[in-house]
A = this chain, B = another copy of it.
Amino acid sequence: MSLKKETAAMIDALSNIGADPTGGMTRLLYTDSWKEAQLYVEKQLQDNGLATHFDAVGNLFGRLTGSKYPDETILSGSHIDTVVNGGTLDGQFGVAAAVLAIKYLKETYGQPLRSLEVISMAEEEGSRFPTVFWGSKNFVGEAQAEDVQAEDVQDIADFEGRPFVEEMHRQGFDFRDAKEAVRKDIKAFVEIHIEQGSVLEKEQLQIGVVNNIAGQKRYTFVLKGQANHAGTTPMGYRHDAVYGFADICKTVIDRGLALGDPLVVTFGKVEPKPNTVNVVPGEVLFTMDCRHTDGQVLDSFTAEAESLIKEIAEAHGLTVEMDLWMDERPVPMDENIVTIIEKAVKASGKNYKVMHSGAGHDSQIIAPHFPTAMLFVPSIDGISHNPAEATHIDDLTAGVEVLAAALYELAYQE
């Protein structure tokens, strides 16, 4: 079977596990379909002669030991869970690609010098329980760290009230032992993922070599003015919160455009009160999502935006409340790994660019611990987290080929 047919077949097989009758795929952490998918991947790994095991929380590993440097491991994979009504590629393509790339390498070149290993991570999306990166954080020993402590998930439950801990136990898993050492053998982690954006498609490129995962800050603001009758309140007597919001949104986005790529700034949620045609809005709640690959630039831009928002609110006779509730720092990928991958991609003759990721990925959790880089394949129309999520099969196959070439450089070369 050609690599193209193998890729299509494995994505198809995985997509049948957790197909949602209401659309797309819903395969959430510690559900039966989630377990079934992990067991399917385990079977593929075993069929290819890899030694498999699950860690405490349910991350799956498959290992091909190296001949010369068995204690130096080159790792690849992604997450097996999906969002609710998600697509067939987000996460599982990275798992399937790692399985297939290592299968191809083993069949073509035999045993590597360094160990090659696949990881199928338990959870990344945060779609069932109010916790994210459960797989990668356990892998790197951060599940005892402040934001995903075992204590933090002790009392959480899913949207139907089923406790996290009970569901974890039901599938045969448990908390990671806090005394367990973090692995020292991982010399490289390479994750391949769909872009979930339209840059590669628009620029007609097949491969993105990711050198940075953008930092992101998310705010909620509440502008307060005074609700008034839209007919009886002259313009000069108004404290119109929507007019103030409009001024803020236009001013901040104009500043963002002037600063240029890779800065992005989005006012995604806007909720005026009372939200009625004939009442001057007395209040607007709105969010601002801002991302950049350089933490200093991100901070200086958001500092400027915060000042502008306060000044404009004041000029409109409005008060403003600010809540910065997410502040994730940019995560640069490992320069050395990026260089090796770029060399492999270039040698493959495929069109590519070095780019950043505007979305979050397991790689941002792993990168601070092990040398990490990512590969992207295009997303048709940039669509993701949606049943319409798709990538041309030739692009998926190119992704597997390039991943194999990169792993070859990392595991088979001195």
Q: Give the interface of A toward B (CB within 8 A).
A: 195-199, 202, 214, 216, 218, 220, 228-237, 240, 242-243, 245-250, 253, 256-257, 260-272, 275-281, 284, 287, 289, 291, 357-360, 382, 384-385
Taken together as a complex, chains A and B put the C-alpha atoms of A232 and B359 apart, in Å, by 6
CB distance from A376 to the nearest CB of B (A): 9
CB distance from A126 to the nearest CB of B (A): 12
CB distance from A294 to the nearest CB of B (A): 15
Q: Among B237, B242, B256, B277, which residue has its beta carbon within 8 angstroms of that of A249? A: B242
CB-CB < 8 A to A278: which residues of B? 218, 266, 268, 289
Please state if A382 and B229 are interface contacts (CB–CB under 8 Å): yes
Given contacts A228-B382, A229-B358, contact A262 B276 (CB under 8 A): no
Please state if A232 and B270 are interface contacts (CB–CB under 8 Å): no
Given contacts A198-B237, A218-B277, A249-B246, contact A357 B287 (CB under 8 A): no
Taken together as a complex, chains A and B put the C-alpha atoms of A277 and B287 apart, in Å, by 6
Please state if B199 and A234 are interface contacts (CB–CB under 8 Å): yes
Please state if B289 and A268 are interface contacts (CB–CB under 8 Å): no
| Nearest-CB residue, chain B, relative to A257 | B235
Interface SS, A side: mixed
26 contacts between A and B (CB under 8 A): A196-B229, A197-B231, A198-B233, A216-B231, A229-B359, A230-B291, A231-B289, A232-B357, A232-B382, A233-B264, A233-B358, A234-B262, A234-B264, A235-B253, A235-B264, A235-B265, A243-B267, A246-B248, A247-B250, A266-B279, A268-B275, A268-B277, A268-B278, A270-B275, A270-B281, A270-B284
Taken together as a complex, chains A and B put the C-alpha atoms of A247 and B247 apart, in Å, by 8
Copies of this chain in the oligomer? 2
CB-CB < 8 A to A246: which residues of B? 245-250, 253, 267
CB-CB < 8 A to A360: which residues of B? 231
Taken together as a complex, chains A and B put the C-alpha atoms of A311 and B57 apart, in Å, by 56
Q: Which of A216, A240, A269, A384 has the most CB of B within 10 A?
A: A269
CB-CB < 8 A to A237: which residues of B? 198-199, 202
CB distance from A410 to the nearest CB of B (A): 26
Q: Which of A202, A236, A289, A291 has the most CB of B within 10 A?
A: A289
Please state if B214 and A231 are interface contacts (CB–CB under 8 Å): yes
| Nearest-CB residue, chain B, relative to A219 | B277
Given contacts A198-B233, A257-B235, contact A269 B264 (CB under 8 A): no
| Nearest-CB residue, chain B, relative to A249 | B246
Please state if A261 and B235 are interface contacts (CB–CB under 8 Å): yes
CB-CB < 8 A to A249: which residues of B? 242-243, 246
Please state if A271 and B267 are interface contacts (CB–CB under 8 Å): no
CB distance from A292 to the nearest CB of B (A): 11
Taken together as a complex, chains A and B put the C-alpha atoms of A228 and B195 apart, in Å, by 12
CB-CB < 8 A to A385: which residues of B? 229
| Nearest-CB residue, chain B, relative to A264 | B235
CB-CB < 8 A to A229: which residues of B? 196-197, 358-359, 382, 384-385
CB distance from A252 to the nearest CB of B (A): 9
Taken together as a complex, chains A and B put the C-alpha atoms of A193 and B227 apart, in Å, by 21
Taken together as a complex, chains A and B put the C-alpha atoms of A235 and B301 apart, in Å, by 15
Given contacts A243-B250, A243-B267, A250-B250, contact A358 B231 (CB under 8 A): yes
CB-CB < 8 A to A196: which residues of B? 229, 231-232
Taken together as a complex, chains A and B put the C-alpha atoms of A198 and B266 apart, in Å, by 37
| Nearest-CB residue, chain B, relative to A266 | B230
CB distance from A152 to the nearest CB of B (A): 22
